[in-house]
Amino acid sequence: MQRSAVEQKELFTLVNQIFEEIRKDGDKAVFKYNNVFDKVDLEKLEVDEKQVKDASKNVSTELQNAIRLAKNNIEKFHAAQQHKKQVIETTKGVKCWRENRAIEKVGIYVPGGSAPLFSTVLMLGVPAKLAGCKEIVLCTPPDKNGKINPAILYTAQLVGVTKIFVVGGIQAIGALTFGTKSIPKVDKIFGPGNQYVTAAKQVALNFGVAIDMPAGPSEVLVIADDSANPEFVAADLLSQAEHGADSQVILLSDNQKIVEQTLQEIKNQVKVLTRQEIAEQALKNSKAIILKSIDECIEFSNEYAPEHLILAAKKYANYTKNISNAGSVFLGNYSCESAGDYASGTNHTLPTNGYARNYSGISLDSFVKKITFQELSKEGIQRIGPAIELMAETEQLMAHKNAVTVRLKSIK
């Protein structure tokens, strides 16, 4: 069940070193590490408005339509999560309720470079805008020419991103954490990334910046019974393996024939992938495991807590109630993981590395704070005041007791 991992001590030493330089030298350090890691020399970090507008000219009409379709579905799903104020009278004269307030400044990290994930702009930008975030700052690494893929820029403009910066990796997270002359400091950082980005986000917590979740290398676990289509299963496993050499894919089944056929399909399909080398590296960290029953497969999956879980089983409805740990679940032979990555409407920014045991994927709630309110009338304080006085006195907090006592006296 262990994931492939970089030596943690070495990883956090590097992150802390880069963070310290950014805190001290700001943009200068960001430019330096853009050069070190992405091999680009940039004149400026921010993408200007003209570049963003011009990007649409380099995005085909077909792709623009596809992005808009995905945006509409993501908006529908996330808009349904909007909170409706509900006032609860806990005792006569005591009213309590909760209201949402948007996190004002958010940073969204979008992996780029060899695989520019413009879909992540949708997954983070759409709920941020729906929540009412005032500032949405996007950071993404440059390609070898120091440019951002036009599809990322087009999508950023479409969803309402307010600022875009050509910076990736640890240095992007550091800049969003401390703020530089060019890049604003934010209140919360969102977005997936490799183990370096994930470690940087965890360090950002030490400096008072919130993060969405630990979201590192991508992973999928497929549970397949004798009704599964080996061609489909192999395609799903490879769709995650191509993300990165440190990704991991797991196949569980109670049927040896399905496993053997799927492994053969993987050999056939991997040969034609443009990211063949990356996928093959990921497959070295991956496993195909035969267990006695689908129930045992579910039990294993709950222990593993996958980012994506595909239930390629004929009677999947019989098993869903037993799934307790997973980022997002895909049911049946036609629910490919790619649907959730792009256009079904659910969010693809999900907990990885076993964090699905205690974290949820991104939702509208990720971009808001929930503030509680209470309103007590004279009758309300009279009804619960004596209980408060007794509890406060027992805890020896006499000023707490007195805050009630003076009110009760004034009413009498």
Contact (Cβ atoms closer than 8 angstroms) between residue 46 and residue 163: yes
Residue 89 a catalytic site member? no
Distance from C-alpha of 273 to C-alpha of 271, rounded to nearest angstrom: 6
Residue 307 a catalytic site member? yes
Distance from C-alpha of 108 to C-alpha of 139, rounded to nearest angstrom: 6
- Which residue matches tokens 């853009």? 34
* Residue in 307, 304, 306, 295 with CA at minimum distance from that of residue 253: 295
Distance from C-alpha of 310 to C-alpha of 336, rounded to nearest angstrom: 8
Q: With left for phi above 0 and alpha for psi between -120 and 50, is residue 305 left, alpha or beta?
A: left
Question: Catalytic residue among 242, 307, 337, 389, which?
Answer: 307
Residue 63 phi/psi, 5° resolution?
-70, -40
3-state secondary structure of 230: helix
Question: Catalytic residue among 308, 337, 348, 389, which?
Answer: 308
Distance from C-alpha of 392 to C-alpha of 400, rounded to nearest angstrom: 6
3-state secondary structure of 281: helix
Contact (Cβ atoms closer than 8 angstroms) between residue 18 and residue 180: no
3-state secondary structure of 62: helix
Distance from C-alpha of 124 to C-alpha of 118, rounded to nearest angstrom: 10
Distance from C-alpha of 301 to C-alpha of 370, rounded to nearest angstrom: 32
Q: Which residues contact 62 (CB under 8 A, 6 or more apart)?
A: none
Distance from C-alpha of 78 to C-alpha of 392, rounded to nearest angstrom: 42
Catalytic residues: 307-308
